[in-house]
Structure 1
Amino acid sequence: MIYPIFVYYIVLTIAGLRYNSRFKRPEIPEELPSVTILIPARNEGLVIRDTLRAMANLDYPKDKLEVLLLDDGSTDDTAKIAEEVSKDYPFIKVIRVEGGGSGKSYVLNYGLKLAKGEVIAVYDADNRPEPGALKDLVAMLSDETPAVTGKVKTMNWNRNILTRFICMEYLYFQLAGQAGKSKFYKTAILPGTNFVIRKELLEELGGWDEEALAEDLELSFRIILTGKKIAYTPLAVTWEQEPESLRVWFRQRTRWAAGNVHTVKEYVKRFKEIPSWGLRFDLFLTLMVYYLLAMAVIVADVAFVALLLTSGSVTWFTWSVLGFVYLAFLLEIFAGLYDGKIKSPGCWLLALLMYHTYSQIWILISLAGLWEARRAKKVWYKTPRTAV
């Protein structure tokens, strides 16, 4: 099982490189739609000023732009800072969410009811989109692709070893998981930030699922089940902050793993509704990625222990498992670094150790995610920020 899956991801990697290298910026329509940007926020005082200023610097007609900062019961100075910034930019509004504390989906649905734009955009409270990002996203909207997502880059990638690993992981995910799948299946998956969707479609779907642990993945499934597709543009870039401590990162990824498990439970019976067998297979792998990676790591670890216990007297199969898994993994990470234009020699050298360190922790994350999915409550879990 491991071999064909790794081969499949190598093929996706190559397809992603082709997609990105040949991608041409779509023509910006003369008549741009009105857009409402939703920014869910809870205790984001450290980052919210820079985020709102980044929204103000977007190259988009301000008479067609509405930014709703959705303050979900913050106990710090998030609302105060946001209100100070909004005084300089009339299109930025600070909304106090009533009855909050029930999760990101609830907050987004609250904002959706107030949104005036024809198109809804979503950004996390730590995001700093590049000026042209919103135009690039909107330019790819069509009847076939009523949702478009862009690229996420790590703002604090050089803070420590962990953030470098996260940066490499994100670059590879977007290369294979977004660009590669866009090449093969003409559709991507919505992340939690830096995407747009037509408000009409979102309302038809009933907004975000407030019971979902992974609201972005769940919404992606519902869009695909309608027969529509999600476009991906590598040119619409936003920069976001990633966890700088192992504890925060582990907690974040455990929640994501639990969200994947929850989505599997909800949609496994509806896989036959997905348009093609190839896409069904790929979406299943997307849902199970945490566990398939953990299984691959465990098998390779067992093979390595067998190698040590037998003093090297092992079969060719054990050697092939060890070599293939590691080399395939390394090839994929190097491709992500190349595509992301990361020139730091430290990152390329660190990639050699990523499988033996960072990836090993996925075993624990997968187990913790399974446990979390059994008892997880649909509440807001906010990743703690640091000043950047």
Structure 2
Amino acid sequence: MTTSVHPHVERDRADDPTRGLTHDLTRDRRDRPAQRPGRHRRDRVPADDLTVVIPAYDEAASVADTVRSVLGQTTPPARVIVIDDCSTDGTGELARAAGAEVIRPEQNTGSKAGAQNLALAQVTTAYTMAIDADTTLAPDAIELLLAPLAEDESVAAACGFVVPRHVSSVWERGRYVEYLLSFTFYKPTQDYYGKPLIASGCFSAYRTEVLREAGGWSERTRAEDMDLTWTFYQRGHRVRFVPEAVCYPIEPHDLDFMGKQLKRWSHGFVQNVRLHWRGILPLPFLSTVVGVAMIDALVASLVYLFVLPVLAVVVSPWVLAAYVVDVPAILVPVLLAARRRGEVGKALASIPAFLVLRTVNGVFMLRALWSEVVLRRPLLVYEKGH
């Protein structure tokens, strides 16, 4: 009926200074999808060829967990650089104590992309990895994510599987179902056709030389990871999705945090469509996916939010059944993914929250389209969730 998964579901940071619980990394191997025999294990990037970049602003509750999960990898990086973007809560000191190098600019860079580019200027390794400061990794996530880059020089970037670290509030539960659907159905399909819609900003690896040639992470949109991914495609590079490489971010736990995140995502998606549409038209699969997502964002959201309620009043209340008509189709991939994780009960209990979240998705997408396209008022300020 309407967009089941936000076009920018490959998430951005969701800052949450009150919920920095240490993640139990012993669960990671159980949680990771079963590895397909022989895939992503042939070549291994040497540890001294990788630098991990972690942008952080007021992430004292989680940054140490992130750094420790990176340093504890089967393939630990040569360097871990945390960009303490003028935090006020001791983020830099905690990151340094956990084992990271810390860069602190004289003033806040104003965006995640700005912070990442600050670190990129100091990277000397062949590969660069970007990880959010609220994200922990499965023990072999880096090794698995780097394999496609080591195997194929045409691959500019690789992204992994995303699972929310906490699943308790309605918003976390909605995002949990959204991710299971996206990363077990949509993303593998996109990878099959060679065009993942986006290399997720919370956990992706890049060939450093190609990243620099693309200008690093652009600050011209509020969705720098989508902008970079589409730029790679237009330059003839490939991006891979590696489902075995799993990361665990902290997702927004209330409407305030969720609203700020969805505002960035929605405006960022519209901004990237306006910026790149001429460049992606010659790319059949990508242009089709983006076109369908754009139409869905407008038409389906209007139907979902306005047409159905009006018809329910004018014609019959039974019209409201259309809100859940596609639930069986959603349940199949979600429950299959949940079964592999031993979380069928959690998935079933979270479906109502997903229906709430996709309604809110529609509201923010329509607001972004109205602001960006009709009013010509682009979102220029990067809100980090505070």
TM bracket (short chain): 0.7 to 0.9
Q: Per the alignment, do residues 379 and 309 of structure 1 end up closer, same or farther by CA in structure 2, a change over 3 Å counting? A: closer
- Give the Cα separation in 2 of the matches to 1:204 and 1:311: 58
How far has the Cα of 1:349 moved from its partner? 4.0
Superposition map of 1:234-383 within 5 A: 234-274=243-283, 277-286=284-293, 290-298=297-305, 302-303=307-308, 305-311=310-316, 323=322, 326-340=324-338, 341=341, 343-352=343-352, 354-355=354-355, 357-370=356-369, 373=372, 374-376=376-378, 378-383=380-385
Matched, 1:26 2:53: no
Q: Per the alignment, do residues 232 and 38 of structure 1 end up closer, same or farther by CA in structure 2, a change over 3 Å counting? A: same
Q: Per the alignment, do residues 122 and 349 of structure 1 end up closer, same or farther by CA in structure 2, a change over 3 Å counting? A: same
TM-score w.r.t. length of structure 2: 0.81
Matched, 1:203 2:212: yes
Q: Secondary structure at the match of 1:122?
A: strand
* Number of residue equivalences: 350
Contact 2:54 2:81 in 1 (8 A): yes
- Give the Cα separation in 2 of the matches to 1:228 and 1:260: 21
Q: Per the alignment, do residues 375 and 137 of structure 1 end up closer, same or farther by CA in structure 2, a change over 3 Å counting? A: same
Contact 2:181 2:330 in 1 (8 A): yes
- Give the Cα separation in 2 of the matches to 1:348 and 1:196: 33
How far has the Cα of 1:164 moved from its partner? 0.7
Q: Per the alignment, do residues 284 and 306 of structure 1 end up closer, same or farther by CA in structure 2, a change over 3 Å counting? A: closer
Contact 1:179 1:188 in 2 (8 A): no
Contact 1:255 1:369 in 2 (8 A): no
List runs of 5+ in structure 1 lacking aligned partners.
10-19, 87-91
Aligned residue in 2 for 1:189: 198
Aligned residue in 1 for 2:10: none
List runs of 5+ in structure 2 lacking aligned partners.
8-32
Contact 2:58 2:91 in 1 (8 A): yes
| CA shift digits 1:181-236 (9 cap, x unpaired) | 11234545211121101001111111111222100010111011122221111110
TM-score w.r.t. length of structure 1: 0.81
- Give the Cα separation in 1 of the matches to 2:298 and 2:181: 18
Q: Secondary structure at the match of 1:79?
A: helix
Matched, 1:153 2:163: yes
Aligned residue in 2 for 1:215: 224
Structure 1 or 2, whichever has the larger Rg, is: 1
How far has the Cα of 1:97 moved from its partner? 2.5
| CA shift digits 1:122-144 (9 cap, x unpaired) | 10000101110000011111223
Aligned residue in 2 for 1:84: 97
- Give the Cα separation in 2 of the matches to 1:150 and 1:50: 19
Contact 2:260 2:384 in 1 (8 A): no
- Give the Cα separation in 1 of the matches to 2:350 and 2:93: 41
How far has the Cα of 1:59 moved from its partner? 1.1
Contact 1:212 1:262 in 2 (8 A): yes
The alignment-based identity, stated in percent, is 23
- Give the Cα separation in 2 of the matches to 1:105 and 1:378: 13
Aligned residue in 2 for 1:17: none
Aligned residue in 2 for 1:56: 71
| CA shift digits 1:284-310 (9 cap, x unpaired) | 334565435413523xx6346434543
Q: Per the alignment, do residues 83 and 372 of structure 1 end up closer, same or farther by CA in structure 2, a change over 3 Å counting? A: farther
Q: Per the alignment, do residues 381 and 295 of structure 1 end up closer, same or farther by CA in structure 2, a change over 3 Å counting? A: same
How far has the Cα of 1:55 moved from its partner? 1.2
Q: Per the alignment, do residues 280 and 338 of structure 1 end up closer, same or farther by CA in structure 2, a change over 3 Å counting? A: same
Question: What amino acid sits opposite 1:26 in the alignment?
Answer: H
Q: Per the alignment, do residues 208 and 168 of structure 1 end up closer, same or farther by CA in structure 2, a change over 3 Å counting? A: same
Q: Per the alignment, do residues 50 and 293 of structure 1 end up closer, same or farther by CA in structure 2, a change over 3 Å counting? A: farther
Contact 2:195 2:286 in 1 (8 A): no
Aligned residue in 2 for 1:111: 119
Superposition map of 1:33-72 within 5 A: 34-60=49-75, 62=76, 65-72=78-85
- Give the Cα separation in 1 of the matches to 2:286 and 2:220: 25
- More RCO (CA 8 Å, sep 6+): 2
- Give the Cα separation in 1 of the matches to 2:139 and 2:70: 8
Question: What amino acid sits opposite 2:229 in the alignment?
Answer: S
Question: What amino acid sits opposite 2:384 in the alignment?
Answer: K
Contact 1:72 1:100 in 2 (8 A): yes
